Amino acid sequence: MSDLPRLLPFADRRAAGHARRSRMSRSAHADWTAPAGRLDPIGILIAQNERRIPELVPLRHGRMRTDPFAFLRGAAAVMAADLATMPNTGLYVQCGGDAHLANFGAIAGRDEHGLFDINDFDETLPAPFEWDLKRLAASIVVAARVQSVPDKACRALARRAAHAYRREMEQLAVVPPIDAWHATIGLEAAIEDIADREIRRTERRHLQHAVETGRDGYGHLVATDARLRLPERPPAILRLSAQEGAAHEAFAAYIGSLPEERRVLLMRHRLRDVAFKAVGVGSVGTFCAIGLFATADNDFMLLQLKEAQTSVLSPYAGASAYTHQGQRVVVGQRMMQAEPDLFLGWASAGGRDFYVRQLKDAHLAAIGQQIEAASLAFYARLCGRTLARAHARAGDAAAISGYLGDGDSFDEACAHFAIAYADQTAQDFQAFLSAIAAGRIAAITESRR
């Protein structure tokens, strides 16, 4: 984390953050030019595949070749290597490590209407705050270009996200730390902030539908004809008999990582079935399974077992304090997320580290995607706010706010970087397509059912 003293008064910590501009000026964040000797992005991706399940790697590449944004989603290791070549502020927070805009969205919370938050922490690690923010800004531009948004508007979207981050950090810096820790972004309230009345009305309906559907977010994955089970839906959901024993072993070991009161709750359920599910883009090929847990009365829930490998940030930001990579993910999520999953835990099996969480509610998750599609300008601002809230929980909001300042210098620089790095991503994506065409890497397109 940051080496700035946290027990100093607010004014002193803000001044210390301001002084970090001598280490890296705010305008310097605009710079991106591929350095001489830049690591081969295709080589980085191939190296990541060494510890992945071989049968699933072509599916990962198939998802990444959809468009430049899909490529960016799967290329967190590439961008981490690039960010590490730049100067940094030294203002460390608990970073998500992969803060592209698709890793934000609606999640279940104590509020029945859910929360808006970061929802992926596979790469979490303490690192300079701007690494997350720059990945978010670049992802906004790349996603907007896929939608044929002109570059002037793309730049404005990235600037909007950086501005929202700066303003939210400024507000959180002046409240007591415990209030900043408990700050949440309610999904219902977020929808009411959408300027367009018709979009606002539509998203209210979507939210109401998600609430009414409740816990059945992934009920369609469960067959209840003769017995509770998880039917195959290749290539996304399938049986991997060689890996099934490790999945059962990991789920059994995971129970011991839970606090006792949550262990009691889980023990009212029994593991009925396991299947493998290729999730997202960047995670495809890692060991990812879903476990069907049910009571004697067939009340069921789905827990997701995800392999946790070393963070893509670790070669550049330093090794995690936790040697168990699943524990690294769980601790990072608990630090950054306003209301972490009730069943978060970790385990090891078959020489791999894992973490476990509830499978995301599909209906709630879809709301974030719908808002993004309907109003990218609003969504960019919402993601910027959310990232600031997550960083303020474990970082020094006063120091970061002091560095960012009251003007828009950083916002402009971040937007300039986002355009430049989106150009880099477009080049890397073309190199990726060429590598597929040349047979350097294999890719398959999954069938939709």
Closest CA to 123 of 393, 333, 279, 390: 333
Looking at 316, 336, 358, the residue that finishes a domain is: 358
Q: What pLDDT, on a 0 to 100 scale, did the predictor assign at position 42?
A: 97
- Sequence-distant (6+) residues with CB within 8 A of 111 are 184, 186, 187, 188
At residue 406's C-alpha, the angle toward residues 401 and 408, to 5°, is: 105
> Looking at the DSSP assignment, which residues form a beta bridge with residue 271?
293
Do 261 and 403 belong to one domain?
no
Q: Which residues of 378-415 are buried (b: 16+ CB within 10 A; e: fewer)?
A: bbbbbbbbbbbbbbbbbbbbbbbbbbbbeebbbbbbbb
Backbone angles phi, psi at 101, to 5 degrees: -65, -20
Q: 169 and 111: one domain?
A: yes
| Assigned domain for 3 exists | no
The two tokens of residue 294 are: 């049910």
Return the bridge partners of 348, or none.
353
Residue 444 domain-assigned (yes or no): no
- Bridge partners, residue 50, by sequence: none
Q: Dump strand ranges (E) for 278-427.
A: 288-294, 300-307, 345-349, 352-358
Which pLDDT belongs to residue 237?
A: 79
Supply the pLDDT for residue 163: 98
Counted domains in the chain? 2
The whole-number pLDDT of residue 190 equals 85
What sign for the dihedral angle of Cα 258, 95, 36, 423?
Answer: positive
Whether 36 is covered by a domain: the verdict is: yes
Q: In terms of Cα–Cα distance, which of 96, 76, 7, 5 is closest to 334?
A: 96
* Statement to judge: residues 62 and 207 lie in one domain: yes
Q: What is the reported pTM?
A: 0.92
Contacts for 83 with CB less than 8 Å, ≥ 6 apart = 131, 134, 135, 316
Assigned domain for 103 exists: yes
At a CB cut-off of 8 Å and minimum separation 6, what does 281 contact? 60, 63, 64, 70, 73, 74
Shared domain for 371 and 351, answered yes or no, is no
CB distance 395 to 129 below 8 Å: yes
User: Is the sign of the CA dihedral 70, 71, 76, 82 positive or negative?
Assistant: negative
pLDDT for the residue 375? 85
Instruction: State which of 358, 382, 405 marks the end of a domain.
Output: 358
pLDDT of residue 321: 96
Does 144 share its domain with 276?
Answer: no
Given 358, 389, 414, the domain boundary residue is 358
CA distance 347 to 355: 6
State both tokens at 356: 């476990």
Taking the C-alpha atoms of residue 191 and residue 115, their distance in angstroms, rounded to an integer, is 11
Same domain, 53 and 155: yes
Q: What is the pLDDT of residue 111?
A: 62
Is the Cβ–Cβ distance between 205 and 191 less than 8 Å? Answer: no
Looking at the fold, whether 201 and 221 belong to one and the same domain comes out as no
Beta-bridged to residue 125, according to DSSP, are 95
- Considering the domain architecture, whether residues 135 and 254 belong to the same structural domain is answered as no
Q: Is 52 found in the same domain as 148? A: yes
Residues near 336 by Cβ (< 8 Å), separated by ≥ 6?
94, 96, 118, 121, 124, 390, 391, 393, 394
Our CA angle for 307, 282, 311, nearest 5°, is: 55
Find the domain containing 221 and state its range: 217-358
Q: Is residue 123 part of a domain?
A: yes
Q: Are residues 125 and 45 in the same domain?
A: yes
Are 172 and 312 in a shared domain? no
- Are residues 259 and 187 part of one domain? no
Q: Is 202 exposed, middle or buried (0-12, 13-18, 19+ CB in 10 A)?
A: middle
Print pLDDT tens along the chain (449 aa): 555 567 899 999 999 999 999 999 999 999 999 999 999 999 999 999 888 888 888 989 999 999 999 999 999 999 999 999 999 999 999 999 999 999 998 887 776 668 899 999 999 999 999 999 999 999 999 999 999 999 999 999 999 999 999 999 999 999 999 999 999 998 888 888 888 888 888 888 877 777 666 555 566 677 776 677 887 776 667 776 667 889 999 999 999 999 999 999 999 999 999 988 877 777 887 888 999 999 999 888 899 999 999 999 999 999 999 999 999 999 999 999 999 999 999 999 989 999 999 987 666 667 777 777 778 889 999 999 999 999 999 899 999 999 999 999 999 999 999 999 999 999 999 999 999 999 999 999 876 54
Sign of the four-CA dihedral 28, 30, 35, 39: positive
